[in-house]
Homo-oligomer: A and B are copies of this chain.
Amino acid sequence: MRDVAVIGVGMIRFGELWERSLRDLFTRAALAAVDDAGVDRVDAMYVGCMSSGLLVEQEHIGALFADELGMGPIPAVRVESACAAGGLALRSAFIEVASGMSDIVLAAGVEKMTDVAGDEATHALAAASDREYEAFHGVTFPGLYAMIARAHMERYGTTTEQLAAVAVKNHANGALNPMAQFRRPITKEAVLKSIMIADPLHILDCSPISDGAAAAIVCPLEKAKELTEKLPIRIAGVGAATDTLALYRRKDLTRLSAVARSAEAALKMAGKTIEDVHLAEVHDCFTIAEICVIEELGLVERGKGGQAAESGLTALDGKLPVNTSGGLKAKGHPVGATGLAQVYELVQQLRGEAGERQIKDARVGLAQNMGGSGGSSVVHVLEAC
């Protein structure tokens, strides 16, 4: 397999972008990545998108977007794995370049969620759960993650204050990120007083419904220097794994085993351990998700995830910065775009271009992107060359 590098990234600021269509979101992010890389062609592309069918009644978006980008007739494929679609689009692009099939491949993620009413978006998102055994019976994602949170509180003594600390940290980071949907710091009190969505999760424990897109250009590492003047960021490791969609089929509600397995595979490929990682972007669709994920990654001991944000360990100036971008919580969560937006942040950081959010001497970053309530997970380990 050839070594593969990210040589360009692009995204648009996430938000409620009512004036922009699905194809417009994609095209802006993709062109930004093409411009960033400085390439004049793309040989193939992958687009991660969860539910353009239910949300805007459009499938077949690979070909549609290749044409919009002026890159048709290149091969173009949509990849879907719920909210992990973006990360898996990058994995597909990585494999295509690693195989020798193509040289310059675009991986993009996009979701247009605000063209439908909130209840319809919730209905579409529930398609990431097991429709027959979960959604049809009335449970939605806040409810599923609330069950995970309750189990974690019972087992490890995790508190609602600790959940709130994750939101406070990520909003503080998002306030420094020009691409974030929410650029406003919040207080623990504000989280705890915000409306209850599914006990113990308040609305400020939940990531928002967003429109947005993000993209990356990958190529063989050995060709990166010919193609671009930017510092190549090597994809040192890639791992993907799955778990049951339905929570009732899991032995332990506090575990997200696909996260652990995908991280293990990615770190093994990279020849690294979690101690080598300087910063991580993780899938905080709800505050409890960040807590469980950092435990699965081994960034903290099992059961200690709740203390991490509260103690400052995962803050921008902490020992293990997590979600320096603001995470899904503050940056926004247009579901298919999230995996690539994580990579956008890591590339900024590893290039030393993250401005006020810059982590000093960051050379190795990890991105963890998750589908549903952990039914799928994909991890990339990125390294500045």
* Chain-B contact segment, one of A223-231, A238-246, A323-331: A238-246
B1 touches A100 (CB 8 A): yes
A242 touches B128 (CB 8 A): no
Residues on B with C-beta less than 8 A from A73 are 241-243, 257-258, 261
Flag whether A80 is at the interface (Cβ < 8 A). Answer: yes
B54 touches A53 (CB 8 A): yes
Flag whether A376 is at the interface (Cβ < 8 A). Answer: yes
**One of B54, B58, B72, B78 near A81 (C-beta < 8 A):** B78
Residues on B with C-beta less than 8 A from A92 are 77, 92
A267 vs chain B, min Cβ distance (A): 16
Query: A55-91 CB contact bits vs B (8 Å, 1 = yes)?
Result: 0111111111011000011111111111000001001
A375 to B44, CA, bound (A): 15
Flag whether A51 is at the interface (Cβ < 8 A). Answer: yes
A56 vs chain B, min Cβ distance (A): 7
Query: A91-119 CB contact bits vs B (8 Å, 1 = yes)?
Result: 11001101111000000000000000000
A74 touches B241 (CB 8 A): yes
A96 to B63, CA, bound (A): 21
Residues on B with C-beta less than 8 A from A59 are 50-51, 54, 80, 82, 127-128
A257 to B60, CA, bound (A): 17
A63 touches B131 (CB 8 A): no
A21 touches B376 (CB 8 A): no
Interface of A is mostly: mixed
A1 touches B60 (CB 8 A): no
A120 vs chain B, min Cβ distance (A): 12
B78 touches A77 (CB 8 A): no
A244 touches B81 (CB 8 A): no
A72 vs chain B, min Cβ distance (A): 5
Residues on B with C-beta less than 8 A from A257 are 73
Flag whether A137 is at the interface (Cβ < 8 A). Answer: no
**One of B54, B82, B240 near A60 (C-beta < 8 A):** B82
Residues of chain A having any CB pair with chain B under 8 Å: 1, 21, 44, 50-54, 56-64, 66-67, 72-82, 88, 91-92, 95-96, 98-101, 123-124, 126-132, 135, 240-245, 249, 257-258, 261, 371-372, 375-376, 378
For this complex, 13 residue pairs linking A to B, each with C-beta atoms less than 8 Å apart, are: A21-B132, A58-B127, A60-B82, A60-B372, A60-B375, A60-B376, A63-B245, A66-B242, A73-B257, A73-B261, A77-B80, A77-B91, A98-B101
